[in-house]
Structure 1
């Protein structure tokens, strides 16, 4: 299968590199020249658990010279979704599927506006990654599942083919008839740790050592669950504490949330698509979300402080 990743950060490299190692025809698109150059020159260095390896995979700064792939996986930062897919619209062929594996909610609507709803699949992944330097990442793929699905809830042949490609590479993947529920389940996990990690500057191990942080995380998840239920979504996570516990499963002490990684790089976070989506849902369904509103405000304040003067 020919697969193009729009966004070759830690997560795009972790999944794309694993697929490429297993024989998929992968191209990683990223706007960072040193990162692209390092991958093309030296290969993609990946550490997954105790295993270290170099994977040969194609990387490019843009999709200008690419032929239409079978699948485009969108893994850019949420606020770059529209510009990324518009820049790659010319490689969306008659049989090309477009799938978001981004954190948060709302990306599928943007993709559908650009390429058409019939081409778009949704997905969530529990794979993790940390970028160490250009061309070098820590990947967390072992026993980390990915769930994908059609927006209308059908089990399509293309979704089954994508899942089979992931499975062949050792990436557990299933097709769901309740992809909106899956997306909300993953959102609960992001809500539990992302903003709090960004605000406090704590890695996972330290984050889980502070009882007050745990209490705030559980309160934020409870709000998100109330919004999901008000919107008619069926969740598999039943208790807020379960999302908090699941967020750190299998991850090392020093692992950082993507939101904290963004803050440390001085860049804008995806808080609008994570805690912010809970706030917007609360406004729509008249569900109070004071904890998430506070977390959004705090992260926005940090972003403002980091803006170049």
Structure 2
């Protein structure tokens, strides 16, 4: 089914579900550019309603003293584009969060890690109303309504189709990309969302996982010969998993991810931050789902499987 093209730029109304390091940053940028943005919050609701959002960014700091803040989705207006930036560990809430907020011809854009979230959301709103976005950004929430953006910021945006068939570049991708461009957010077009998801895992699996297991920032992991070698092995297993789904990842891409990590400012991954805060880890989305998808086509990824088992143990003990 061909998706309905969203309205003209600046007429689109945006909702952000999950106003943290990712949703808060991109939503604030959209509002700063003049778009009508509505934020769903939980613990920070009262603070943000009274004081707004503060963004410290390498591209320039700014404050939004007034934002449209809500604690209940039923009180939000229907929106053309609903950005979901929750941790995937909270996706069980989406069946009650999404229906009150998405317009009949609206679209849900998942700015989340890992594999499989689009399939879950398609069961709620329909497969023709889902898009995926992969965020290449170093951003943390350092206090209520206070976001610190330290590096990068692009989003790779792709349209979802049932069973992750490649969709190419669609009209609504270009329309939403135009909005983000107006807000100073770089959009990279993905013709094949599944291929992009696997490519993002090339970095996310080794560095999110090892940062927790070894209690280390990215600079330490990439500088040590042993952990760099282990990261490369894990990356190669991701490449093997993608190949099993007919998605080829070039060796040059693996080297590019290693080189970028060398140049990256010392960084605590999102999973390590969650671990230190004793919050649930996104283990299933980032590790479990890729392992299951690979196993379905008869491919084992033993080092990723070991990392997965270690993380499950640490996560359970950490939150006990």
| CA distance in structure 1 between the aligned counterparts of 2:150 and 2:247, rounded to whole angstroms | 29
Residue correspondence of structure 1 range 141-220 to structure 2 within 5 A: 142=152, 144-152=153-161, 153-220=167-234
Aligned to 1:114: 124
Q: Does 1:270 align with 2:282?
A: yes
> Does the 8 A contact of 2:82 with 2:101 survive in 1?
no
Alignment equivalent of 1:102, drawn from 112, 136, 145:
112
For structure 1, which segment, 235-244 or 41-50, has the greater mean C-alpha deviation from structure 2 after superposition?
A: 235-244
Question: 3-state SS of the aligned residue for 1:174?
Answer: strand
Residue correspondence of structure 1 range 6-85 to structure 2 within 5 A: 6-32=17-43, 35-49=44-58, 51-56=60-65, 57-85=67-95
Residue 164 of structure 1 deviates from its aligned partner by: 0.4
Residue 73 of structure 1 deviates from its aligned partner by: 0.9
Q: How does the TM-score come out when normalised to structure 1?
A: 0.91
Aligned to 2:8: none
> Does the 8 A contact of 1:237 with 1:243 survive in 2?
no
| CA distance in structure 2 between the aligned counterparts of 1:217 and 1:2, rounded to whole angstroms | 41
| CA distance in structure 2 between the aligned counterparts of 1:248 and 1:14, rounded to whole angstroms | 25
Question: 3-state SS of the aligned residue for 1:125?
Answer: strand
Question: 3-state SS of the aligned residue for 1:225?
Answer: helix
> Does the 8 A contact of 2:15 with 2:101 survive in 1?
no
Question: 3-state SS of the aligned residue for 1:72?
Answer: strand
Moved over 4 A (4+): none
Question: 3-state SS of the aligned residue for 1:90?
Answer: coil
Q: How does the TM-score come out when normalised to structure 2?
A: 0.88
Residue correspondence of structure 1 range 185-264 to structure 2 within 5 A: 185-235=199-249, 238-247=252-261, 251-253=264-266, 255-264=267-276
| CA distance in structure 2 between the aligned counterparts of 1:248 and 1:113, rounded to whole angstroms | 40
- Count of matched residue positions in the alignment of Structure 1 and Structure 2: 303
| CA distance in structure 2 between the aligned counterparts of 1:50 and 1:174, rounded to whole angstroms | 19
| CA distance in structure 1 between the aligned counterparts of 2:276 and 2:72, rounded to whole angstroms | 26
| CA distance in structure 1 between the aligned counterparts of 2:126 and 2:246, rounded to whole angstroms | 25
> Does the 8 A contact of 1:2 with 1:69 survive in 2?
yes
| Structure 1 vs Structure 2 CA RMSD | 1.9
Aligned to 1:90: 100
> Does the 8 A contact of 2:205 with 2:286 survive in 1?
yes
Is the alpha carbon distance of 1:130 and 1:177 closer, same or farther for their aligned partners in structure 2, counting shifts above 3 Å?
same
Unaligned residue ranges in structure 2 (runs of 5+): 1-11, 162-166
Unaligned residue ranges in structure 1 (runs of 5+): none
| CA distance in structure 2 between the aligned counterparts of 1:234 and 1:68, rounded to whole angstroms | 39
